[in-house]
Amino acid sequence: MEDKNQGSASKPTKGITRRSFIRGAGLSTAGSVLLTSNALAFDYKEQATVGKEFGPDAITIKMKVNGIVKSLSVEPRTTLASALRDHLELTGTKVVCDRGSCSACTVYVDGKPVNSCMMSAFDVGEKEVTTIEGIAKNGELHPVQQAFIEHDASQCGYCTPGMVMSCVHLVENNANPDLEDVKNATRGNLCRCGTYPHVFKATLAASKKTI
Partner 1 sequence: MDTRKEKFPHGIPGHNLTEIEREIPIEEPPVWPVNDELKVIGKRVTRIDALEKVTGKAKYTSDIKLPGMLYAKMLRSNVPHAVITSIDISKAESLPGVHAIHLIENVRKEGEENNNGKYPMVKYAGQPLGGVAAESLEIAKDAISLIKVNYEEKPFVIDIEAAMELNAPIVFDEPITQQEDGGDVGETHDGSKGEGNVRGPSTSSFFGGPRGDLEEGFKEADVIVERTYRTQVHTHMPLETHGVVVDWNPDHMMVYASTQNTNAVRNEMASIFNLPKSKVRVFCDFMGGGFGAKHSAGSFGPMAANLAKKTGRPVWLMLDRQEEHIAEGNRPNSIQSLKIGARKDGTLTAIQQRSHGTAGVNLGAGVGRIAQILYPCPNFATEQYDVLTNAGPGAAWRAPGNVQGAFGLEQAIDELAEKLEIDPLKYRDLIDKSEVRKVERQRGAKLFDWSRRQAAGSGKGVVKKGLGVGQSTWPRFVTLDSSVEVKIHNDGGVEIRSSVQDIGTGTKTILAQVVAEELGLPVAAITVNIGDTFFPVGPGSGGSVVTGSITPPARNATYEAKKALLKLVAKKWETDSSELFIEDGQVGSKKDAGLKMPFKEATKLMRTSQISKIASRSNDYGGFQQPWGLAYGDLGSVQFAEVSVNTDTGFVRVDKIVAAHSCGRPLNLGQLESQINGGVIQGVSYALYENRVMDNGTGHMMNANVDQYKVPFSMEIPEIETLIVEEYGARSSTDAYGIGEPANIATAAAIANAVYNAIGVRIYEIPITPSSILKALNKVS
**In the complex, minimum distance from the CB of residue 191 to partner 1, in angstroms, rounded to a whole number:** 8
Helical axes 196-210 vs 160-173, angle rounded to 10° = 40
- CA pair distance 49, 69, nearest whole angstrom: 28
| Nearest to partner 1 of 45, 190 (CB atom) | 190
Nearest to 127 by CA among 64, 208, 62: 64
- CA pair distance 39, 190, nearest whole angstrom: 23
> Where along the sequence are the contacts to partner 1 (CB under 8 A)?
29-30, 32-33, 36, 75, 77, 85-86, 89-99, 101-102, 104, 131-133, 135-136, 141, 145, 148-161, 164, 182-184, 186-200
**In the complex, minimum distance from the CB of residue 47 to partner 1, in angstroms, rounded to a whole number:** 26
Q: How far is CA 18 from CA 35, 81, 105, 129, in A?
A: 12, 21, 22, 24
Sheet containing strand 59-65, edge to edge, reads 68-74, 59-65, 128-130, 106-109, 112-115
Q: How far is CA 68 from the centre of its chain?
A: 19
Question: Which run of H or E residues covers position 196?
Answer: helix 196-210
**In the complex, minimum distance from the CB of residue 153 to partner 1, in angstroms, rounded to a whole number:** 8
| Nearest to partner 1 of 22, 190 (CB atom) | 190
| Nearest to partner 1 of 40, 48 (CB atom) | 40
Do the bridges between strand 59-65 and strand 128-130 make them parallel or antiparallel, or are there none, so unpaired? parallel
**In the complex, minimum distance from the CB of residue 3 to partner 1, in angstroms, rounded to a whole number:** 19
| Nearest to partner 1 of 12, 188 (CB atom) | 188
**In the complex, minimum distance from the CB of residue 136 to partner 1, in angstroms, rounded to a whole number:** 6
